[in-house]
Amino acid sequence: MNKRKRNLLAFFIFLGVILLSNLLKFDLGIKIGENFYIFAKDMILILPPAFVLIGLFDVWISRERVEKSLGDKSGFTKYIYAILLAATTVGGTFVAFPLANSLYHKGAGYDTIITYVTSASLFMIPMSLMEASILGIPFTLLRLGSSVPLIILSANLLKYHLNKHDYVLPKVE
């Protein structure tokens, strides 16, 4: 049985368990089904427009532009660009990983990609605004300000390690 058939089988078994849970009034299974429905609905609303935008990015932004702004020779500004791009990415890491893949294939360095993906979960503008309104602006600025050097440091350590071992991301089929 190939991978696609196994995945389909697992999905239909999952749906069967949820259906059976609803028939038998099994609370845990019902709650899992409700959570799955909410998650699936959110993904159907977020992912198609995000993938269209990623496709447009892939077509409209040249490799030379990405290499110049986010490549290994672009200096410190690549981190600023990566953080700003991550802050405006809607959909969190669900969108960040496909966009990071596109950035990689257009010549962005490992440290830039790691900075972008990490920042996508830390610097979302709506989340930061909500956090500032609840916990206060000083707390939000402290969190964001202390995160930046740690992100850049860890991205450079990971880049060093990956380059030391001649790591290349695998091709997606």
Q: 12: domain range?
A: 1-60
Provide the pLDDT for residue 34.
94
Which of these three, 11, 29, 60, is where a domain ends? 60
- Decide: 154 and 114 in contact? Cβ < 8 Å: yes
User: What is the three-class DSSP state of 154?
Assistant: helix
Residue 52 sits in the same domain as residue 83: no
Provide the pLDDT for residue 30.
92
Tokens of 65: 């532009």
Which of these three, 42, 60, 78, is where a domain ends? 60
- The top-scoring range by mean pLDDT among 1-10, 46-55, 102-111, 134-143 is 134-143
Instruction: Label residue 173 by pLDDT band (50, 70, 90).
Output: low
| 115-151 residue pLDDT tens | 999 999 888 888 889 999 999 999 999 999 999 999 9
Residue 73 sits in the same domain as residue 56: no
Residue 40 sits in the same domain as residue 95: no
Provide the pLDDT for residue 12.
94
Instruction: Label residue 89 by pLDDT band (50, 70, 90).
Output: confident
Residue 124 sits in the same domain as residue 139: yes
**Burial profile 85-124: b = 16 or more Cβ within 10 angstroms, e = fewer:** bbbebebeeebbebbbebbbebbbbbbbbbbbbbbbebbb
Residue 68 sits in the same domain as residue 41: no
| 44-67 residue pLDDT tens | 888 888 888 888 888 898 888 888
- pTM of this structure: 0.76
Which of these three, 60, 81, 107, is where a domain ends? 60
Average pLDDT over residues 147-159: 95
